[in-house]
Chain A
Amino acid sequence: MRNFIRLLPLLPAIAAVAATGEEAGRYIESDVYVATAFAGAPPQASTLWVSGGLRGAIEQTLGHRFAALRVRYWDDGKTSVWILDEIGKELPITIGVTVRDARITNVRVLEFRESRGWEVRYPFFTDQFHDTTLGTNGRLNRQIDGITGATLSVGAVTRIAQTALIFDDHIRNKK
């Protein structure tokens, strides 16, 4: 019992630290991510309205309704950057995806607030997406290996990678 009592003074200190500080789980701002995706100054943001067949394809990929009417993206004619949200278990994960010549060149978790599944933030997981494309079935052409205990977070990042590739394919074919 005395062991517990000795630890009690720690509690207020822990609570005080937790009550302060910056917003938890935000690792990189969106504009910084966009800037790093292009060699020079990033292009102006464009707007893609998500409707018709495109909306159907996205909702099939996500497995649920796509809440936005349109998405903002940055495109210089070859490289497109997409910043999208998807819920893992309970809270939205903000994910940046860079696509060049219909291939993913970068996936990065910009904001993560779930209590489990932190592994998806790190390159040892996100590097798996490098060079993936859309397969004939509308899914990634390569299997993404999961993380034990992070199944839902892995699923969320994978779905957003597919979604970005579908968006990129849409704007290229439209143009």
Chain B
Amino acid sequence: MRFSRSATLGVAILVLASAVKAQEAPASIEDLWQIIQRQQAEIDSLRDEIRAARQDVDATSEKVAETEARVEATGEYVETMATLQSVPSKTTIGGYGELHYNNIDSDAGDSDEIDFHRFVLFFGHEFTDRVHFYSELELEHSLAGDGAPGEVELEQAYVDFTLTDQLTARAGLFLLPVGIINETHEPQTFYGVERNDVENIIVPATWWEAGGAMYGHFGNGLSWDVAVHSGLAMPTTGSSAFSVRSGRQKVAEAIASDPAYTARLRYSGVPGLELAASYQYQTDPSQIAGDGLDSGQLISAHDDFRRAGFGLRALYSSWNFNGFAVEAADADKQDGWYIEPSYRLTEKWGFYGRYEDLDGARSQDKFTQSEVGFNFWPVSGVVLKMDYRKREHTLDALSGSDFDAIDLGFGYGF
């Protein structure tokens, strides 16, 4: 051992001696031994520091991985909570409303009127992925009850059964698939404070009946509807004789002796374009046998085109009734049409013109009407409207009732 130590010392002395030869000579072997020991101590210290640093790096890596896992978990939790909050409820609420001001100038008498015409609430519920309920409850003219001008009406309450991705069955009280306005009539979706008159007098929108329906579509944009439902009960006497609109029973303890059938074919395979045609057969539009109003057929066709700001709506509807009484009253054929060009100047402003020609059952339902106006949408779902209308009655006897009107309106839908 001593030999070994001596040999080591000897080698070290020789190495150090040559290394420090140019500087200063070692004092003694003992001094050199001290130097070596100090250097060894420094080497050991550095080795410890490196080991500690490595442990720190390992610990940091572990902490980074742990932090990443925590961030991931936090992200997932926050997103799950956000998703839970944003997932639509199975029960949904919507609605729309419209306020009208009409200033009418006529030889028969001027009038100023303001009316909250419609206040509507939608309620829907998703029973399952394939079974949905929809409803629409409306308060018309703000106030309902004895002597009040308005009504509370249940306009939709039906359940849809999705049979396949392209086929659905419907049961309940639903809007008939006829015309443009009847199914889509939220005020922000059409021009004019008042709805067009063809889809009021000839197609008595809003028009709902109760029964069953099937509808479906094809991948090329063609869709179809068929429905069997309650029929009209049109009066055959009085001031509203043979008025289609007066024949709506509104599914209120309605007579269901004689049903009606409706079918529609619709094409929307080109963006911006809708073409549709409907046919309806009323087995007895008065629900009374032998009263001179025996059956009725409605045909209605329309286009709704909107592209690059330009729009064009056009609709034609015609009734043909059979029966000696309706023919004697010259009300067996009732029809009307309108054309409505429009231009959406910006996202907020749109302008339109409309021309209507009607030949209804009552004298006051035979007229032409021209109107121009604009819509202003401050935000999507809210609309302000203004228009000017001029109505001229077909019958000379009613020329005194011709009028000019300025209408202002406000509407919303959500």
Contacts and interface: CB of A to CB of B under 8 A. Distances in A.
A91 B189 CA distance: 21
Contact of A149 (B85, B183, B221): B183
Contact of B212 (A7, A128, A148, A151): A7
B259 A128 contact: no
B307 A145 contact: yes
A115 interface: yes
A90 B189 contact: no
B222 to A, nearest CB: 11
Contact of A118 (B126, B217, B256): B217
Contacts of A147: 268, 271-272, 274
A16 B350 CA distance: 47
B88 A148 contact: no
A139 to B, nearest CB: 11
Contacts of B189: 151
Interface stretch (B3-11, B142-150, B162-170, B194-202): B162-170
Contacts of B271: 124-125, 128, 144-147
A67 B81 CA distance: 9
A115 B134 contact: yes
Interface in B110-143: 124, 126, 128-132, 134
A90 B306 CA distance: 24
Interface in A119-133: 119, 122, 124-125, 128
Contacts of B134: 115
Contacts of A146: 271-272, 306
A67 B83 contact: yes
Interface stretch (A23-31, A37-45, A164-172): A23-31
B211 A4 contact: yes
A17 B161 contact: yes
A52 interface: no
Interface residues of B, number: 53
A111 B221 CA distance: 18
A32 interface: no
A23 B129 contact: yes
Contact of A87 (B88, B168, B228, B304): B88
Interface in B5-36: none
A69 B162 CA distance: 34
A3 B272 CA distance: 39
B162 A119 contact: no
A19 B259 CA distance: 29
A67 B82 contact: yes
A68 B81 CA distance: 10
A18 B268 contact: no
Contacts of B131: 15, 18-19
Given A19-B130, A113-B129, A124-B220, A149 B268 contact: yes
A19 B128 contact: yes
A11 B171 contact: yes
Nearest to A20: B130
Nearest to A128: B271
A18 B132 CA distance: 10
Given A4-B228, A68-B79, A91-B88, A18 B171 contact: no
A148 B304 contact: yes
A21 interface: yes
B92 interface: yes
Nearest to A63: B380
Nearest to B93: A90
Contacts of B82: 67-69
Nearest to B275: A148
A10 B256 CA distance: 19
A92 B129 CA distance: 13
Contacts of A149: 183-184, 268, 274
Interface in B157-184: 160-165, 168-169, 171, 183-184
Contacts of B306: 145-146, 148
Nearest to B302: A148
A173 interface: no
B328 interface: no
Given A70-B75, A148-B304, A7 B269 contact: no
A136 interface: no
Nearest to B256: A1
Contacts of A69: 75, 78-79, 82
A14 B161 contact: yes
B1 interface: no
Given A15-B161, A149-B268, A4 B128 contact: no
B183 A25 contact: no
B252 interface: no
Contact of B169 (A1, A18, A145, A148): A18
A87 B83 CA distance: 12
A97 to B, nearest CB: 18
Interface of A: 1, 3-4, 7, 10-11, 14-15, 17-19, 21, 23-25, 27, 67-70, 87, 89-92, 113, 115, 118-119, 122, 124-125, 128, 143-151
Given A67-B85, A70-B75, 4 more contacts: A1-B257, A3-B228, A18-B163, A122-B219
8 contacts: A3-B259, A11-B212, A18-B162, A19-B130, A21-B164, A25-B162, A119-B269, A147-B274
CB-based closest 10 A-B pairs: A18-B161, A145-B271, A145-B272, A148-B274, A67-B82, A14-B169, A18-B130, A67-B86, A148-B304, A90-B92
